[in-house]
Amino acid sequence: MGTRSDRGVSTTSGGVANPLLFAAVLLVGCGAAVARIGFGSLQDLARAAALLLLSMLVICLLQQGSLRVHRLRSLLAIGLAAVLGVAALRFGFVYPFAVVVLGTILAYGTFIRWSLPVQWPQRQAVVAGLALGPLLASMLLWYRAPSLLTFLLLGALTAGLLEMYARAHRTAHLIDSGVARAARFVGQAVTAILGSAIMIFVVIPLSWISRLFGYSPLDGGWATRSSAWVDLQTENRGRSNGGPEHAQSMAMREPRPTRSVRRRGHLRLLVPTLALVVVALLMGVGPVKLSRTNSDQEVATQQDRPSTFTRPFEQDPAFKDAPWAQNLRVNLLDAWNNLEFNAAVGGWRIKDVASKYINVRDGERASTQPDPALGEPIVIWFFGGSAAFGAGQRDEHTIPSELVKLAQDQGVALEIHNFAVPATVNWQSAMLLIAQLEAGEKPDLIVIYDGANDVSLQGVLAAQGKGASTRPASLIDGELDAVLSKRANAKAERDSAPSQTLLPPSKTRTPDKELTPAASGQAVLTRYGKGIEVIRKFSELSSVPVLIFWQPDIRAKQPQSAADTETLAAVKVTGDSVKIWTQTSDVVRAGLGALGVTDLSGVFDGQTEPIYWDTVHTNELGSKIVAERMLKELQPTLQDLQNSRG
């Protein structure tokens, strides 16, 4: 295995390698990096194309004699690779760039040269197997968790294996012998295990079944006390002298069971078959259920989502002139089902989403970009819940997008990053803001647009007997409690020992007394104020101004139009619940001024056109109206920011 074959020499020195090998090098060299970037946007597509081009350039330069024979082509390839390197630094894909370069070099050496020196001797295919192991492992690990150090260490192991096989022939032979012995041992062990498994789970059970039911596989029927075999009539008519009349064969005729015996055996064979089917159905295995259900997983995956997200809101009056509404709802549902728990803020986080109308990347929903002709834009971070996220609006028509377009008409460039997350309250927005500021960057202005979820949280806490609590909480606290309780109970039922339960037994908590709407409103205001205090404190530490807006609600709109009444009926909001909400909300709104929060509750008053499709979410007309009012409040701050820039 340490020698160089004549065929290998000819392939290395002057021949052309198999195109499939070059394709394999290209796939291994840049596959993980391209997959890591994805194709969520035109920018991602450009990065992936750049990495593919980079891998092909590296392959071109690695060809034997490339630098000496094809100097012009080699210089061109080096120049293009350098341009791609600068682009990687400029647009932030340095790690994928390094992975593609190193991965392509190692893959080329593994597939085509089998070694790293300039004079690469051809090796047998076993070298590819040994070298590809750590190389593919490094690519997959980098894809799962981009650690360049791990990739470099495993890549160095790949290079070491290639070098050893190229130079230390005796060591390579010893390794080959050891691998062969290990393979034989593994093969024998697998054979023994499979043979034992077949004997234990197939042969022995069948033997027991045949004994239990008296089934004999030799006669095709069922053995009884009276034999099922055909009697063999031995005729021995002798001659007069006592000898046999005809010579008799020593071989006996094969006995055959009668037809009735066979039929009886086949019918009785249905008995154990039906019994096994019934047992399988009762145990939840077999053709009806292939696996045992994990109760913990079932609890975790059946969390309730707001019904308004799955309701066909395209049938509401607010979308009567929107043929795209149904597709928007599907995109919105896809985004909502793409949520994951974000422990840093105690709530949800939307993973990357790419669709026609809703696009999210790194926790930020796509917004309209500013006009470059207006100069350097004012950077705004936008936080809030689903209304701020833009549930019911396309990317180009959310509140941030409408703000960008309205400010652009006034000659002001805004670059708004929409970090809003559905089903979050003000305290969670504060935690998310802190996480963004701790990342090292900071905007020119922070805008908060929320309030509805904080009022809804009061009803959730009251249902849990915690209505009087003013501690920070979230809408999903109750769901998490239910998940953990069911999981603990399921674990306790499966385990006989109480010490093995997942959670300790919780003490029964005395529920809070039922609060009046006024007291509930005060609790909401207290919790909301704590989040506002945190937001303002961290914005001051970062020297970034912040403006906070309380979002409107259909129940506060005056006067109620026919479309509003129809919408309230569609989401099953009764008159009594509206009364309670109004009394609670009035207390909260009365204290917003002291917190420095701008109340936008009356922004839709007097509007007769349909705007809401549930109690808080609006169509694109609603987002534009909110943006117009919000821009008026932002103009003094925006003017100060422009003046500070000179």
* Cβ atoms of residues 420 and 383 within 8 Å: yes
| pLDDT at 524 (0 to 100) | 95
Q: Encoding tokens for residue 395?
A: 């990317």
Pairing of strands 546-550, 445-450: parallel
Tens of pLDDT, residues 361-410: 988 999 999 999 999 999 999 999 999 999 999 999 999 999 999 999 99
Give, in order, the Cα–Cα distances in Å from 494 to each of 107, 293, 403, 488.
Answer: 50, 13, 56, 10
Which stretches does DSSP call E strand in 476-600? 546-550, 597-599
Specify if 223 maps to a domain.
no
| pLDDT at 481 (0 to 100) | 66
Q: Which band of pLDDT confidence, cut at 50, 70 and 90, is reported for residue 452?
A: very high
Average model confidence (pLDDT) across the chain: 77
Give, in order, the Cα–Cα distances in Å from 335 to each of 369, 440, 616.
Answer: 22, 28, 19
Specify if 271 maps to a domain.
no
Which residues have a Cβ under 8 Å from the Cβ of 646 and sit 6 or more positions away? none
Q: Count of CB atoms within 10 A of residue 9's CB?
A: 13
Q: Encoding tokens for residue 393?
A: 């609006």
Q: Region 55-80: what's the mean pLDDT?
A: 79
Give the chain's domain count: 2
Which residue range is the domain that position 56 belongs to?
17-90
- Rg for the chain (alpha carbons), in Å? 38
Residue whose token pair is 């922004």:
603
Whole-angstrom Cα distance, residue 98 to residue 91? 14
Specify if 396 maps to a domain.
yes
| pLDDT at 637 (0 to 100) | 95
Give, in order, the Cα–Cα distances in Å from 438 to each of 427, 431, 432, 442.
Answer: 17, 11, 10, 9
Which candidate, 364, 360, 357, 285, places its Cα nearest to that of 322?
Answer: 357
Q: Which band of pLDDT confidence, cut at 50, 70 and 90, is reported for residue 3?
A: very low
Q: Which of 58, 75, 90 is the last residue of a domain?
A: 90
Q: Region 263-290: what's the mean pLDDT?
A: 59
**CATH code of 574's domain:** 3.40.50.1110
Q: In the chain, helix, strand, coil percent, each to 5?
A: 60, 10, 35
Specify if 122 maps to a domain.
no
Q: Which of 58, 90, 122 is the last residue of a domain?
A: 90
Tens of pLDDT, residues 554-590: 999 999 898 898 889 888 898 888 999 999 999 999 9
Whole-angstrom Cα distance, residue 548 to residue 599? 9
Q: Is the pLDDT of residue 429 over 60?
A: yes
Q: Which of 61, 90, 119 is the last residue of a domain?
A: 90
Q: Which band of pLDDT confidence, cut at 50, 70 and 90, is reported for residue 262?
A: low
Specify if 157 maps to a domain.
no
Specify if 176 maps to a domain.
no
Specify if 168 maps to a domain.
no
Q: Is the pLDDT of residue 173 over 60?
A: yes
Q: Encoding tokens for residue 438?
A: 């701790």
Specify if 430 maps to a domain.
yes
